[in-house]
Structure 1
């Protein structure tokens, strides 16, 4: 990849099929957890407390078999485009971790660990009914190997990361219901890649991965199928980028 940043407004599977084999050093992504139907069936006041409720977004409510098929297709292509010994970090709901590990292993990804991100300022929904939901899981894989890049410089890093949520300045271009803070992604990019490496985010959302990747001197490929999120992410990344090569692929037009 000769360009520093490539952004695609289309289904990531279409993009992955066109990427060169062994061309990516790290896949860092936060795909839909497919919890929309599950959350709507529960007694929760989340919708009242969050205007942009992910359960009503329409992209998080597939039937399980359909979701599983899409994840399987993703890992198949991820194995091809990710370099051998390349890393993959995927955020996911705890209740889906076993399914993800099983699918990833099928496509030659070596499972390293499941870690936890603790949000220090979580939404206090249902605080008088049960425990506040303040954590999310992330899974760490190596492609066709057991070890890869790990720039710890002799320091011990636990599989527990603690940060606040995204700041107001990080949300000024787009309001995404599951947006991750830049500090969180900086943690993974610094540990798992080197300068000029290529980072891929197939589910870019608000563009946090692109902003962080550019800031840290890496190349970036991002995909986002939702036009509104994509425009916000593009504008946000463009503010931090010195060079932007924008490719708009419209699946409906066969491009």
Structure 2
């Protein structure tokens, strides 16, 4: 039995967390694709081109295995996956339970090979996880693709621990189908950092620039990212999704590993960050999300992105380090 949509929470006046209003739900429901919509639109014997027309730039509100039936093989230039980690977590009434490492391995094996088939021959894939499940992610991914790197990013949000180190890091595994043929644009993901000890040669800045805003240097990105702010109540991108990824985090992946007009696919869309970032950066997208409320939040964010294409921490074509004026 489908549960009723919850009433909006009462929030402080300065709280910018995005929520759903009952008046907008009918419209948003009309924009997402359910299992029934997909069956009706796809029909029998639909070809790849027809399926792509149906799913391009759409949110699919259904089970991952059902949704994957309508995603053609070699569909996406870039796949971003943020699956349930091996933790007990409540996703708006649906609980994913922690399990043994071997059981989690089997869980990954049930869907990851199917998702990898949706990647184009020269495509790239990013798989998110935490320290508890990262070994399982690596094992599963290496069976399907060539792992190129592991990104670790600093997630400051979270509770402290009295008898352990605070968990403040997450991983993103970077893999490709063909290690000799994949797209990577490092120029698009350089970081603009403040220069604290400016060095000059013949009175001119050496590898940095002077400006009215301060002294800055463009630096090459490493596989450790400490310039990410996790969404919280004062940010307009924030939702009540418990594991929402920041737009800035995904913007790095999208800009590095896709071109304008490429297709981004996310089989665990959540509240829509990958799709929203794809839209803001002029890419196509498709996302699968089981929960109806999260699907509607994703659709609402996509419609807001039509008017506001800003991404916090990214402007003037560069990523700014955290706590600068951008």
TM-score range, shorter chain: 0.7 to 0.9
Superposed CA offset, 1:181-201 (max 9, x none): 111110110000000000001
Query: Secondary structure in 1 aligned to 2:133?
Result: helix
Contact 2:126–2:173 (CA<8 Å) still a contact in 1?
A: yes
Query: Secondary structure in 2 aligned to 1:148?
Result: coil
Aligned mate of 1:80, from 117, 141, 154: 117
Q: Which residue of 2 aligns with 1:39?
A: none
Relative to structure 1, the CA distance from residue 103 to residue 28 in structure 2 (aligned partners, 3 Å threshold; closer, same or farther) is same
**Residue 223 of structure 1, CA deviation:** 0.8
The root-mean-square deviation of aligned C-alpha atoms, in Å, is 2.4
Higher relative contact order by CA 8 Å / sep ≥ 6: 1 or 2?
1
Q: Distance in 2 between matches of 1:94 and 1:180?
A: 16
Query: Secondary structure in 2 aligned to 1:95?
Result: coil
Query: Secondary structure in 2 aligned to 1:133?
Result: coil
Aligned mate of 1:32, from 84, 95, 108: 84
Tell me how many residue pairs correspond in the alignment. Answer: 221
Are 2:290 and 1:225 equivalent residues in the alignment? yes
Q: Which residue of 1 aligns with 2:136?
A: 99
Relative to structure 1, the CA distance from residue 56 to residue 15 in structure 2 (aligned partners, 3 Å threshold; closer, same or farther) is closer
**Residue 225 of structure 1, CA deviation:** 0.5
Q: Which residue of 2 aligns with 1:23?
A: 75
Runs of 4+ in 1 over 6 A off after TM superposition: none
Aligned mate of 2:187, from 150, 153, 172: 153
Query: Secondary structure in 2 aligned to 1:150?
Result: coil
Aligned mate of 2:97, from 26, 42, 61: 61
Contact 1:84–1:145 (CA<8 Å) still a contact in 2?
A: no
Q: Which residue of 2 aligns with 1:169?
A: 236
**1:117-132 pair list within 5 angstroms:** 117-119=153-155, 121-126=156-161, 128-132=162-166
Q: Distance in 2 between matches of 1:193 and 1:68?
A: 29
Structure with greater proportional helix content: 1
Structure 1 portions without partners, runs of 5+: 37-52, 243-255
Are 2:219 and 1:183 equivalent residues in the alignment? no
Q: Distance in 2 between matches of 1:147 and 1:161?
A: 25
Q: Distance in 2 between matches of 1:55 and 1:79?
A: 24
Query: Secondary structure in 2 aligned to 1:195?
Result: coil
Superposed CA offset, 1:182-235 (max 9, x none): 111101100000000000011011111111000000000011101222222221
Contact 2:59–2:298 (CA<8 Å) still a contact in 1?
A: no
Relative to structure 1, the CA distance from residue 97 to residue 238 in structure 2 (aligned partners, 3 Å threshold; closer, same or farther) is same
**Residue 164 of structure 1, CA deviation:** 1.1
**Residue 54 of structure 1, CA deviation:** 4.2
**Residue 112 of structure 1, CA deviation:** 1.2
Q: Distance in 1 between matches of 2:225 and 2:96?
A: 25
Relative to structure 1, the CA distance from residue 205 to residue 143 in structure 2 (aligned partners, 3 Å threshold; closer, same or farther) is same
Provide the TM-score with structure 1 as the length reference: 0.78
Provide the TM-score with structure 2 as the length reference: 0.62
Q: Which residue of 2 aligns with 1:253?
A: none
